Chains A and B, each alone.
Chain A
Amino acid sequence: MTAVLPMPASATATADYRRRNAKRLKLVLLGLVALVLALALDVSIGPGNLPLADVLRTLVDPQSAAPRLSVIVWDLRLPIALMALAVGAMLGLSGAGMQTILANPLADPFTLGVSAAATVGASVAIVFGWSVLPGAGPFIVTANAFVFALGASLVLFFMTKLRGVSAETMILVGIALLFTCNAITALLQYRSNEVQLTQIVFWTLGSLARATWGKVGVAAVLIAVALPFFLMRGWALTALRLGDERAESMGVRVDRLRLEILIGTSLLAAVSVSFVGGIGFIGLVGPHIARLLVGEDQRFFLPVATIASAVLLSLASSLSKVITPGVIYPIGIITALIGVPFFISLVMSIRSRAV
């Protein structure tokens, strides 16, 4: 007979910690599976009523597929479906980073004017045909949106640096930027003709139809760099959740951390908004789902927020194609329409289910 020694109570706490981490890790893996399934669903849906088997066969073996099938799947559907994942991931990571450094669950790059600045850039291109990047050619709207979004982030960056890098300062400057940009866009709309006005409104709605393989590649590289960049600061970011002073006394350089993450989140938001226009709520809802699922430990929170947002946007992309057969609605409308009630029900129904 072997005697079973009682475990000290603190060892139980360690076992609990390990169990919780294993559960969180499992959630990350489940999220990745959901990501693949959402992608498959998105690619299989669309005008043309292609049988699922044909779509999958074309994906696996494009050489033997009929040219028409190959074009629909590889040139039309796949870039859009991958763009949905990439943009969702960028918005989710960006929103998660913003919410953490600003200690504000309502923060995302859109509430801080980055998206509004991109719209100003796009509107300038549409109304005046001015390009801030010489040689942008057909990409003048995208290029302008990117430069303006990045410009807004730089303004946010330098003004907060000047004034002291507190969460309050960043939010105040961000809100001021948002209203200024909205006013400029309104002014531009007022000066525009009917065609230009339609173009601006359509751009503002956000649409994945602007996806290209090139954009997918850029987004993928950015995520591949940004996520590890954020994760390397995972412990420090978690410490920041306990408040500035406690984080500082734990050796975290709070000001520098805020600025580093601000640069990362701004770049992610600027790229995503310049590629596909304004897509609201994903960067807000994704991190909230992550927080409910895995809590505030940033080692898990950041990847889960990224994955959850990617899955959400991918599902929204599928939805945008099935509401009216043959019509693909701009995804910004879908995320706003679905996002708001979803967000409210999320907040109301699940108080805390962190593992």
Chain B
Amino acid sequence: MALAIRDLDFRYGATPILQGLGTGELPRGELAALVGPNGSGKSTLFRCAAGLLRPRAGSVSLDGADLAGLSQRERARKVFYLSQDTEARVALSVFDIILLARKSLHRGFALAASPEDTRAVEGVIEELGLAPFASRDIATLSGGQRQLAAIGQALVREPDVLLLDEPTSALDVRRQLDVMATIREATRRRGIVTVAAIHDLSLAARFADRVLVMNGGRIAQAGTPESVLAHKAVSETYAVGVHLERSARGTLLVEPYIQVQ
């Protein structure tokens, strides 16, 4: 029971972005961190996996079933992609937009939210600690708070696959830890597949069950955090040296450094 991306090929015009990319099997209940330099194709990979872009070749399958045959609506039920852009400033409250993520697939005259919907929204607000600003317009919030609200949208949706594009980029240190722990816990409890693009290698090492290193439109290395981050593929990908260390608390710390020639 897993998500599997195989031989994915995608290009913008003549520029190849993904070149025969395969992730191997990403099992349910596991959080995978996708790391790689800017422009390596992480967001494109997510968009292809979510069905927002059509790859030239390759397949995305969940539990053995190819997702290509699904309508956009059916696919959106299974796969939720949280884009990097969470900056929209509109006159909608945090509660509104989280509820929206549950209702956006709805068409018809059930304009009101069901008790089940509001309970799910309440649960997410509780989980992410959004209550202090849940009734405020997102236009009046900080970038980090808006990002949290967007993560709320991802969690309330209860998809089978969560694709999170830099979900903690605007968050403070405490929020980063809280959100990553919440995401990991939700992934295990719900038995879903979560892939999160993360720039902070220590954060990836700390929370991910497996790490995928992306470079040049391919997965250069994949495996457990310790095995992957120690691999030369990481230093080659980023053109940095990587020093790994366990802290006294047992946490894997990753220290990248610039090598002087």
Contacts and interface: CB of A to CB of B under 8 A. Distances in A.
Contact of B139 (A8, A228, A239, A352): A352
Contacts of A231: 109, 111
Contact of B100 (A16, A239, A354): A239
A249 B83 contact: yes
Contacts of A53: none
B95 A296 contact: no
A13 interface: yes
Contacts of A14: 95, 118, 121-122
A139 interface: no
Nearest to B106: A235
B131 interface: yes
Contact of B73 (A16, A238, A251): A251
B209 interface: no
Given A242-B97, A296-B92, A354-B137, A13 B80 contact: no
B104 A252 contact: yes
A49 interface: no
B115 to A, nearest CB: 10
A231 B92 CA distance: 17
20 contacts: A8-B131, A9-B132, A9-B134, A10-B126, A12-B131, A13-B131, A16-B93, A16-B95, A17-B99, A231-B109, A232-B107, A235-B107, A238-B96, A239-B104, A241-B88, A249-B82, A296-B90, A296-B91, A352-B137, A354-B137
A230 B85 CA distance: 27
A151 interface: no
Nearest to A242: B88
A314 B14 CA distance: 57
For the complex of A and B, 4 pairs with smallest distance between CB atoms: A251-B76, A9-B131, A13-B134, A295-B91
B85 A13 contact: no
Given A246-B83, A299-B111, A238 B137 contact: no
Nearest to B122: A10
Interface residues of B, number: 49
A346 to B, nearest CB: 15
Given A13-B135, A17-B95, A241 B90 contact: yes
Contacts of B81: 249
B125 interface: yes
Contact of B83 (A234, A236, A245): A245
A242 B91 CA distance: 10
Interface string B128-158: 0011101101010000000000100100010
Interface residues of A, number: 38
A10 B92 contact: no
Nearest to B113: A17
Contacts, number: 128
Nearest to B118: A14
A97 B153 CA distance: 25
A232 B108 CA distance: 5
B126 A17 contact: no
Contacts of B107: 232-233, 235-236
A236 B72 CA distance: 13
A11 interface: yes
Contacts of A291: 91
B71 to A, nearest CB: 9
Given A10-B126, A236-B104, A295-B91, A249 B137 contact: no
A250 B90 contact: no
A167 to B, nearest CB: 13
B127 to A, nearest CB: 9
B9 to A, nearest CB: 21
B112 to A, nearest CB: 8
Nearest to A11: B122
A297 interface: yes
Interface in A147-164: none
A248 interface: yes
A8 B119 CA distance: 12
A20 interface: yes
Contact of A245 (B85, B105, B134): B85
A253 interface: yes
A325 interface: no
Contact of B50 (A234, A238, A249): A249
Given A239-B104, A251-B104, A17 B135 contact: yes
Contacts of A299: 111
Nearest to B150: A246
B241 interface: no
B131 A16 contact: no
B93 A17 contact: yes
Contacts of B73: 251, 253
Nearest to A21: B112
B52 interface: yes
A234 B82 CA distance: 21
B206 to A, nearest CB: 27
A214 B207 CA distance: 68
Contacts of B134: 9-10, 12-13, 16
Contacts of A12: 131, 134-135
A60 to B, nearest CB: 34
Contacts of B95: 13-14, 16-17
Contact of A297 (B83, B92, B109): B92
